[in-house]
Structure 1
């Protein structure tokens, strides 16, 4: 009887040890897949990572996480017995994602190694746009433009700038296209060709001279075209740019002898006022440089704010007040108005002054 009891105890102990050592193991055939080159137009690309439970207990995949929403996984939700296998199906959506990609898929399970990271990679060949997708902006019934905005960005005095906008004649007859830039001697606009045949492409070629514009900072200009002598006044073509002085050729000695703009403060907090009460503050600008400081332009962020300097040219050591005022009528809540000051200081030619505070609604 004692012998039988001893055998039973040993068997129970062995079973307990075996149960404690029973663990699932997840073993993937590969942890990386290269899609190679896939087309954006072909839709979601799939690949299935195959795995086997090489452990001695059921494998449970708890969840699968991906590094971006462009990757979607599918995985078995039921326990996987020892010796059995399964697949993690991964889909990659290339829409709107041209170029190389590399994404990760993280597997969380009850396996001996609870976290496994898989990777997919490849390159998306971009969608080739059709003519109708490129030329989407109509002017009149005949023409479709790729855009109607010349964004010139930063442009500098002493240079001229050229840019082109393309269009197509979608009508069934030739059209004559002309540009109207009367009174704007700082730009030249050519239409090439002036007569555009059906389904033929044309171009608006802009040449812009910032010296003749006689303006500083951000500018917006517009001109119109005519089609078969009919003015397209409701569809102007816009030009935006920031006209700046070119300091790139200044030597170190030039910089040492240059003017320098320094304000007593760049921000005035007016606290809390009632709507309708004016806010006034005098910003003090001093030239701490070695040559004359020239105020090129002062521009407020809205018509409710004005700023007037007492001088526009400051000799070394001189100061001037820039009187700023904010008309609060019609405003309420937290307010922030800006005043842009452009000078010939090569180190800091554009300075932003701010009026901030709270406006209580009038009772």
Structure 2
């Protein structure tokens, strides 16, 4: 089926090349690869080896053949046919990954040298190699309903709204029965997708959860926490909590230099405010002036403070060109003492600096 889909895609590419011959002088030459990068996900050494299949099209007017394949690691074993490939025919190269190497994220390069491109085409194989721990009981110490995890909180780090991010979470099934992931997940929000490998995790063995987080569908910005219940099936159905963290930023494509002065721009009159010595008994308020110094309307997407003790009031979030607005913030230092730092973070549609953070310092008596 994968081979048929690739042939259909190749047909579209070739038709596009024919239709665009007058508008595009330089076309593709040599071998066209379906994918030059394949991510095989989380790799457990105790399970079956993982393979990656690379398909390619000979888009030349002569026979093509692979002369040599070079890998940057003996852990990647390549199999391919040395036979010649006629024009417009599809070939296949398979890479088997041996996980008996050091653990962690890996990226392996495979250089394929052919008679049509002696310098070679670069392919990449990526994934996460998860070594087997010496003591699963100690390693997978966060336990829920017989499943052991390494961490109680799983951080996706910084995400941008232009693409989802995948995280691989290994776990151990301490139960006396095999488990599988329920195909019907009632409590998982639409911006999270979950897969499990293998599909059936036997008793006293490991599995990997592939968690895909789509920040665009999350429709929020800044530091966010999400808690979901994953549904599993065995003799009975049971749930396991999963706690996720992520910091989401809106993505703006790079601006051509000619457009730098044609976009909204957020200007804040003070980026660092020192309140000086203040009493823990008194609430302190100050004013920040926001201005749109660009020619197009500025929209303040979101404002976040790093403490419930810091609140603000803003009368408008849309500023026309040259317009200003005052933000009044109040800091309640009750129960605090010594040197203190608080922040107010602004998210806007300013593509040059979509995130700006104001630091508020004080010395509390």
The question of a shared fold, defined as TM-score above 0.5 by the shorter chain, is answered with yes
TM-score range, shorter-chain basis? 0.5 to 0.7
Question: How far is the alpha carbon of 1:132 from its aligned partner?
Answer: 2.9
Distance 1:226 1:254 in 2: 49
For the pair 1:142 / 2:146, whether they are aligned, the reply is: yes
For the pair 1:132 / 2:135, whether they are aligned, the reply is: yes
Distance 2:160 2:144 in 1: 34
Question: How far is the alpha carbon of 1:144 from its aligned partner?
Answer: 2.6
CA separation of 1:181 and 1:137: change in aligned 2, threshold 3 A = farther
SS at structure 2 position matched to 1:255 = helix
Distance 1:199 1:183 in 2: 26
Question: How far is the alpha carbon of 1:295 from its aligned partner?
Answer: 0.8
Q: Deviations over 1:121-156 (max 9, x none)?
A: xxxxxxx76353695234236323344544322222
Answer whether contact 1:306 1:324 (CA < 8 A) is retained. Answer: yes
Answer whether contact 2:188 2:229 (CA < 8 A) is retained. Answer: no
Answer whether contact 1:279 1:327 (CA < 8 A) is retained. Answer: yes
Distance 2:352 2:186 in 1: 36
Bigger CA radius of gyration:
1
Q: Deviations over 1:86-109 (max 9, x none)?
A: xxxxxxxxxxxxxxxxxxxxxxxx
- The TM-score, its normalising length taken from structure 1, stands at 0.57
CA separation of 1:241 and 1:255: change in aligned 2, threshold 3 A = farther
- Residue 211 of structure 2: which of 190, 193, 206 is its match? 206
Q: In structure 2, what is the equivalent of residue 244 of structure 1? A: 249
SS at structure 1 position matched to 2:270 = coil
Question: How far is the alpha carbon of 1:213 from its aligned partner?
Answer: 0.8
The ranges of structure 1 where at least 4 consecutive aligned residues each deviate by more than 6 angstroms after the TM superposition are: none
For the pair 1:196 / 2:228, whether they are aligned, the reply is: no
SS at structure 1 position matched to 2:135 = helix
Distance 2:279 2:311 in 1: 19
Q: In structure 2, what is the equivalent of residue 263 of structure 1? A: 268
Question: How far is the alpha carbon of 1:308 from its aligned partner?
Answer: 2.5
What is the RMSD computed on CA atoms of the aligned residues? 3.0
Question: How far is the alpha carbon of 1:208 from its aligned partner?
Answer: 1.6
Answer whether contact 2:145 2:238 (CA < 8 A) is retained. Answer: no
For the pair 1:305 / 2:313, whether they are aligned, the reply is: no
Distance 2:144 2:250 in 1: 39
- The TM-score, its normalising length taken from structure 2, stands at 0.57
SS at structure 1 position matched to 2:251 = coil
- Residue 336 of structure 2: which of 312, 316, 331 is its match? 331
User: Unaligned stretches of 5+ in structure 1?
Assistant: 1-127
Question: How far is the alpha carbon of 1:238 from its aligned partner?
Answer: 2.4
Q: In structure 1, what is the equivalent of residue 224 of structure 2? A: 219
Distance 1:181 1:267 in 2: 45
For the pair 1:157 / 2:161, whether they are aligned, the reply is: yes
Aligned residues: 233
Distance 1:278 1:140 in 2: 44
SS at structure 1 position matched to 2:326 = strand
Answer whether contact 1:219 1:241 (CA < 8 A) is retained. Answer: yes
